[in-house]
Structure 1
Amino acid sequence: MDIDGARIAATVQRLRHRGHATLQDRLHRVRATLVLSVQAGLAAGISWLVAHELLGSPQPVFAPISAVGTLAVSVGQRFRRTVELIVGVAVGVAVGDLLIFLLGTGPWQLSLVVTSAILLTVFAGGSVAILIQAAATAVLIVTLSPAGHNLEIPRFLDALIGGSAALLVTALLLPLNPVRVLNRAARPALDLLADQLDEAADGLRERERDKVQHSLEQLRDHKEEVASFDEAIQGAKETATLSPARWHRRNELTHYAEAADPIERAIRNASTLIRRAITLIEDAEPIPEPMPASMGHLAESVRLLRHEFAVGEEPERARERSLRAVSEAAQAYTEGVGFSGSVVVAQVRTIASDLLVASGVSQEEANRLVREAFGDLKQKKHVESEQPERKSEPPSNGG
């Protein structure tokens, strides 16, 4: 009975923890979308007010639909989305009203109108967004036409008003903080890279192949994190361009805009490093302690980069930690590594270079700093080396 009671208590505790985690996750999602929700509600109300009260549109259905549709699309594409909404509405109105005038309304007319709107949009080379909008507009035209006639221009104006209201809300009334958006979007990609480098380092230190393999599997599935980061950069640029209240943040966006590509390269190169670390363990090659330590320094460099970007500081500490990772890799190399170990060392250098570029250093300068950090330590470790070519090297300034 005691054993059963303990099992039941453990199960209840796990369920309670799972429910708490789920609740926290839901609250986090609510907080993340709170501003967007308020923006959508405000834009819908403004668009209806303008279309119905100021312009006298009797059924301004397309105004709030266009407003919400513009805001629902990914940030960074809202201006283009507004244009697509208007074009899609124009196509849907033209096709729908023409065919209704010729054929009347009914189920088969609805099918024909939607099919024709889609084919016309595809023929004209329209995007998926325009295609969907044209089809949806055609449906509304057919279903709403008995309640009103000669509404072609108001329908078109409704779409224009709705999209404009959405841009007005995002640009002037309730603009997002672009830097905060980027901080939130960059965190998953950077945390993923740092956490898996740490896990792989621990697995390498303990010669636990499965742990290193797990970190590789986690790192391989990184497309969503990187895509969210890229999308957020485009959204931040759009906000900083459209919103006068955010114009002063343009310079702060430069770091992130230039960091996206090298961060993605660092993730890919980390996958190569971890994959080779698995082979290293399988082949029972030597693992000098500085090798996993260098990977840990890379992980810490990523975290420092994220923090210094978030607080608006020059990422000096992140750069210093990247170079420490290179120095540790050099020490591991001098202590003796196998073939796979030498590849791991080379990848540490490559990732460090990627992180330096992400921090704002030029590629040429990053390569030079990595060579110095690697060569200086090798030179110090080989002051009494038996290698003839090392004896002829001049003394290092940095020791």
Structure 2
Amino acid sequence: MDGVREGIRRRARRLYRNALPILQCSIAAALAWLVAKDVVHHERPFFAPIAAVIVLGVSLGQRLRRVVELVAGVSVGIGVGDMLISQIGSGPWQIFLVVALAMGTAVLLDGGSVIALQAGSSAVLVATLLPPHESGGLDRMVDALIGGFIGLAVTALLPANPLTVAHRYGRLVISELAAALRGAAEAAVEGDTGHAAAALSRARGSQRLLEDFRAALETGSEIATIAPIRWRRRGELERYQAAAVPLDYAMRNTRVLVRRTLAALRDGEPVPAGLPGVLRTLAEAAESLRDELAAGKEPVQARRVALQAAKAATGELAAGTGFSMRVVVAQLRSIVVDLLQATGVSRDDAVSALPALNRPGKQ
């Protein structure tokens, strides 16, 4: 019984998260039909609501260019299909010809895969399910354009919150970064290769999260650009955008750090006494960054903690260690720079915050 209730709650949460996209599609479809039928006076404007729904579905997770490509593809496919099928009729060889010409025209116009595929599928729809009768060849192309532009207008006037998905994936990415750093610290303290291997596996699994994070920022940026009521969110979104690339570098450097920590433990290399503490401080800086970005604040606390880690990341950490541990210390210093940049510090200032490494034989 508990499992059934949990399943219902999970589905209810999924419906809640998708309530706005459903509302957008419903409104856009109705408006597209209304405009095409009552304003432009098309008898049966099938493609207006279809194009509106398709455009909104793509714009929820793709770039604005993809939306424009899709509208263009629908228009080309419908236009070519209508004009040819009205003259040559419908059948296997007619479908072959219509699809080839529609996709060829789309490639000549743009060259993108989305516009060509959409042109082909729209031409098939015209040639099979909705062959032309009374309506002219250009009417349905106009309907598709109406639906496409109304879909974009609904996105602008009834937009999603551009920060919702950015918050979700930003928290996941930074939490994984902090967890990997803490895992490396615990493995170094305990000399536990199993713990290090688990931390490495977790860090390697973060790449998909980073890709989702970047896609979320692209979508959020589009919404914040075209939707006037979301313009005030630009500042918070810009903090995430400024942190995205340094966080990517930090995660890549962390994977190398954890891998070399595992190698050092397997080879029995001595662990510098101060290393676990610096790793924990870096993890704390990452967690502060996560929380401050989610709260829409300037990451002042994260910057302060990252500077503490920078002061502790001295060359003495690598003294008397083997090759792998020296690599660990070098990667640690790189992560310090990455996290400082993620808080808004310039690269030059982040590098200057690190203590100079002593050369061999010098103090």
| TM-score of the two chains, using structure 1 as the length reference | 0.81
- Residue 48 of structure 2 is aligned to residue 63 of structure 1: yes
Deviations 1:21-61 (A, max 9, x none): 76665555434333222222222222122222332222222
SS at match of 1:361: coil
For 1:229-378, list aligned pairs within 5 A: 229-330=213-314, 333=317, 336-371=320-355
1:346 counterpart SS class: helix
Contact in 1 for aligned 2:314/2:354 (Cα 8 Å): no
Match of 1:166 in 2: 151
**1:115 lines up with 2:112 in the alignment:** no
1:334 shift after superposition: 6.6
In 2, the alpha carbon distance for the partners of 1:33 and 1:81 equals 21
Q: Does 2:154 align with 1:191?
A: no
Alignment partner, residue 17 of structure 2:
32
Asked if the contact 2:70/2:118 (under 8 Å) is kept, the reply is yes
Tell me, in whole angstroms, the C-alpha distance in 2 between the residues paired with 1:99 and 1:62.
18
In 2 relative to 1, CA 260–87 (structure 1 residues): closer, same or farther, beyond 3 Å? same
- In 1, Cα distance between the equivalents of 2:11 and 2:287? 25
Residues 197, 23 of structure 1: alpha-carbon distance in 2 compared, 3 angstrom cutoff = farther
Residue 99 of structure 1, aligned match among 84, 96, 108: 84
Cα root mean square deviation, aligned: 2.7
Among residues 21, 26, 29, which one is paired with 1:44 in the alignment?
29
Between the aligned partners of 2:274 and 2:23, the Cα distance in structure 1 is 52
Do the aligned partners of 1:276 and 1:343 also contact (CA within 8 Å) in 2? yes
Residues 161 and 241 from structure 1, CA distance in 2 versus in 1: closer, same or farther, beyond 3 angstroms? same
Paired residue type of 1:122 = V
Q: Corresponding residue for 1:384? A: none
Q: Residue 184 of structure 1 aligns to which amino acid in structure 2?
A: R
| 8 Å CA contact retained: 2:55, 2:71 | no
**In 2 relative to 1, CA 25–260 (structure 1 residues): closer, same or farther, beyond 3 Å?**
farther
1:151 and 2:136 aligned: yes
Which structure 1 segments of 5+ residues have no match? 1-14, 379-386, 391-399
Structure 1, 113-122 or 184-193: larger mean CA deviation: 113-122
**SS of aligned partner of 2:209:** helix
Equivalent pair of 2:75/2:145 in contact (CA under 8 Å)? no
1:85 equivalent to 2:70? Answer yes
Q: Distance in 1 between matches of 2:199 and 2:8?
A: 27
Return closer, same or farther for 1:319/1:337 CA change in 2, 3 Å cut-off.
farther
Higher-Rg structure is: 1
Q: Give the corresponding residue for 1:72.
A: 57
Cα deviation code 1:297-335 (max 9, x no counterpart): 222211111111121222121112223333444387177
Structure 2 match to 1:397 = none
Whole-angstrom CA distance in 2 between matches of 1:139 and 1:185:
38
Are the counterparts in 2 of residues 198 and 296 from structure 1 also a CA contact under 8 Å? Answer: yes
1:393 is aligned to: none
Deviates more, 1:206-215 or 1:75-84: 75-84
1: distance between equivalents of 2:9 and 2:102?
44
Please state how far the C-alpha of 1:124 moved relative to its aligned partner: 4.4
In structure 2, the residue matched to 1:5 is none
Deviations along 1:274-294, one digit per CA (max 9) or x if unpaired, are 111111111111123421222
Amino acid at match of 1:237: S
Identity across the alignment (%): 40
Instruction: Give the match for residue 205 of structure 1.
Output: 189
With 280-289 and 212-221 compared, the bigger mean Cα shift is at 212-221
Could you tell me how far apart the structure 2 residues matched to 1:92 and 1:261 are? 39
Separation in 2, partners of 1:270, 1:127: 37
CA contact under 8 A between 1:70 and 1:78: conserved in structure 2?
A: no
How high is the TM-score relative to the length of structure 2? Answer: 0.89
Unaligned runs of 5+ in 2: none
Kept after mapping to 2: 8 A contact 1:76/1:238: no
1:165-210 deviation digits (Å, cap 9, x = unpaired): 22222211x2222233321231222222122222232223222212
Equivalent-residue separation in structure 2 for 1:125 and 1:54 (angstroms): 31
Aligned residues: 362
Question: Quick one: which amino acid aligns to residue 133 of structure 1?
Answer: Q
